[in-house]
């Protein structure tokens, strides 16, 4: 890979919701901490007609709304780095003016496509035809990267026509979260877990990504996508791969992603009885009434807003260990967590004293709070002639309390910085994307073959009762 640090950034979709909420605030926060080149220029582009100053005003309003006040230091300096060029991505002539605004990319240019996937192909063509796809140019792609394997290949082929793989940065923003990176540190920087991280000592793994929101502003996209494509195909499979992968030789892009691909290719095809789909109906979230999915959408739909899956990884380390995954909208609370349930002790020496052991459990919480908790058995204080009181107690690490600095970074801060520096470790390689889509497409084919339709669940609940039964058939209870 050619090493260079970008001194110019080009942001497509600069007036969109992701840019307002995440991308511009992330860049401003990096600049405030001195992590951007002091001479860096940020060129923004979108269909809206405005000049440099109008876009700076737009950016200021976004930062004041979405970036914490204590992280806005030097905002005036950051705003002066911003420039704007109007562009219709489907108009080839518009790229000439954009190229003139960007200038020669010899010193390093990083491009971020935060646009609809349908615009990727004309955008790539326009960049290439106007000198903005040379050897010192990198490109980042925001999801969705297709709706199935076939459409994903079309997108990846279009990008690959102008950019080699070592200059393509496919984004899964979960990989930018501090706790996801701490999952890697927990596994591979501590000797105590590795001997236990296998089927001999782990009973099962749970991965939950729940949201309290409904459709919000994603009506059109979500109804064409559903929970399986929107959450399982990317975020949840990436979490599963990080939990299950073998130790890489080094913490570098090639070695880390090689191990993740091995996991994804080891996923067993799902049977019909190993999956549950659901769609929320009217209910209440935090004491407030909310409408059902069809009411929000304005028409009947068979799109799933909830998925639960019992997955298996067919390799030596994980044979026989189920991975339970669930994700849904309109759940009781917003949370993302990984639960590693260890096996119970093979023989309890305390059973004669009336004490009962509980298996150890490691809980890695990504949101809303970034915490790592390990439950251990301990003797309860006190004197007892007959018994020996045991109770599971948590050893908890609150990441914000353990480390100084910003209490909660935006995941895109890490991803922006790695894009600028050319580090692909936390980005997704093409073979990863395609392995994920192969597995997801097989699940959808199973649904169609068995005519599986979403079961209803009340907004504010943890999904259909069948999802509870999916785990309880194995004597497993979802962690809540």
Q: What is the pLDDT of residues 301-354, one digit of tens each?
A: 999 999 999 999 999 999 999 999 999 999 999 999 999 999 998 887 777 666
From 201, 235, 312, 347, the catalytic residue: 235
At 380, the pLDDT band (50, 70, 90 cuts) reads confident
Residue-level pLDDT at 396: 85
203 φ, ψ (degrees, to nearest 5): -80, -50
At 218, the pLDDT band (50, 70, 90 cuts) reads low
At 3, the pLDDT band (50, 70, 90 cuts) reads low
Residue-level pLDDT at 295: 92
Residue-level pLDDT at 386: 59
235 is an active site residue: yes
Instruction: Please list, in sequence order, all residues whose beta carbon lies within 8 angstroms of the beta carbon of residue 151, skipping any fewer than 6 positions away.
Output: 117
pLDDT (tens digit per residue) in 427-475: 999 999 999 999 999 999 999 999 999 999 999 999 999 999 999 999 9
Residue 159 CA to residue 113 CA, distance in Å, equals 11
Q: What's the maximum distance between 2 C-alpha atoms anywhere in the chain?
A: 88
Average pLDDT estimate for 372-391: 77
287 φ, ψ (degrees, to nearest 5): 80, 0
- Is 217's pLDDT higher than 80? no
- Is 220's pLDDT higher than 80? no
Question: For the whole model, what pTM was predicted?
Answer: 0.93
Average pLDDT estimate for 84-91: 95
User: What is residue 233's DSSP assignment?
Assistant: I
- Is 404's pLDDT higher than 80? no
Which H or E run includes 65?
A: helix 52-66
pLDDT (tens digit per residue) in 113-162: 999 888 999 999 999 999 999 999 999 999 888 899 999 999 999 999 99
- Is 21's pLDDT higher than 80? yes
- Is 238's pLDDT higher than 70? yes
Residue-level pLDDT at 456: 96
Average pLDDT estimate for 258-287: 96
Q: What percent of the chain has pLDDT over 90?
A: 76
Among the ranges given (164-178, 198-212, 290-304, 387-401), the one the predictor scored with the smallest mean pLDDT: 387-401
Contact 49, 83 (CB under 8 A): no
For tokens 């807003």, the residue is 305
Which H or E run includes 157?
A: helix 149-160
């Amino acid at each position: 890979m050619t090493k260079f640090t970008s001194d110019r950034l080009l942001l497509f979709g600069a007036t969109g919701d992701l840019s307002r909420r995440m991308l511009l605030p992330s860049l401003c926060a990096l600049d405030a901490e001195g992590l951007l080149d002091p001479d860096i220029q940020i060129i923004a582009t979108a269909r809206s007609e405005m000049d440099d100053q109008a876009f700076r005003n737009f950016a200021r309003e976004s930062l004041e709304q979405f970036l914490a006040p204590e992280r806005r230091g030097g905002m005036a300096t950051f705003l002066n780095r911003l420039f704007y060029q109007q562009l219709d991505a489907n108009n080839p002539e518009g790229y000439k003016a954009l190229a003139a605004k960007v200038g020669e990319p010899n010193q390093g240019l990083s491009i971020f496509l935060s646009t609809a996937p349908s615009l990727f192909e004309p955008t790539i063509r326009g960049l290439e035809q106007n000198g903005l796809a040379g050897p010192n140019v990198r490109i980042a792609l925001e999801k969705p990267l297709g709706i199935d394997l076939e459409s994903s290949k079309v997108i990846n082929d279009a990008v690959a026509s102008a950019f080699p793989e070592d200059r393509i940065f496919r984004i899964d923003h979960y990989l930018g979260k501090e706790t996801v990176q701490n999952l890697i540190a927990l596994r591979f920087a501590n000797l105590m877990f590795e001997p236990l991280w296998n089927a001999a000592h782990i009973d099962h793994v749970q991965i939950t990504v729940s949201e309290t929101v409904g459709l919000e502003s994603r009506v059109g996209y979500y109804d064409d996508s559903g929970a399986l494509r929107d959450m399982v195909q990317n975020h949840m499979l990436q979490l599963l791969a990080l939990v299950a992968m073998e130790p890489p030789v080094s913490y570098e892009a090639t070695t880390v992603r090689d191990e993740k691909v091995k996991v994804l290719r080891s996923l067993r095809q799902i049977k019909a009885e190993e999956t549950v789909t659901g769609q929320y109906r009217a209910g209440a979230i935090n004491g407030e009434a909310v409408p059902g999915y069809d009411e929000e959408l304005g028409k009947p739909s068979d799109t799933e807003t909830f998925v639960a899956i019992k997955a298996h990884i067919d390799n030596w380390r994980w044979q026989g260990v189920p991975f339970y995954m669930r994700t849904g909208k309109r759940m009781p609370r917003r949370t993302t967590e990984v639960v590693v349930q260890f096996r119970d002790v093979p023989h309890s020496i305390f059973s004669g004293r009336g004490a009962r052991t509980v298996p150890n459990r490691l809980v890695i919480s990504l949101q809303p709070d970034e915490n790592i908790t390990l439950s251990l058995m301990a003797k309860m204080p006190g004197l007892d002639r007959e018994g020996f009181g045991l109770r599971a107690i948590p050893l908890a690490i609150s990441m914000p309390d353990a480390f100084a600095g910003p209490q909660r970074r935006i995941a895109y801060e890490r991803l922006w910085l790695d894009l600028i520096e050319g580090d692909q470790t936390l980005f997704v390689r093409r073979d990863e994307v395609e392995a994920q889509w192969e597995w997801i497409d097989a699940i959808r084919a199973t649904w169609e073959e068995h005519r599986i339709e979403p079961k209803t669940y009340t907004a504010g609940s943890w999904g259909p009762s069948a999802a509870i039964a999916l785990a309880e058939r194995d004597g497993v209870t979802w962690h809540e």
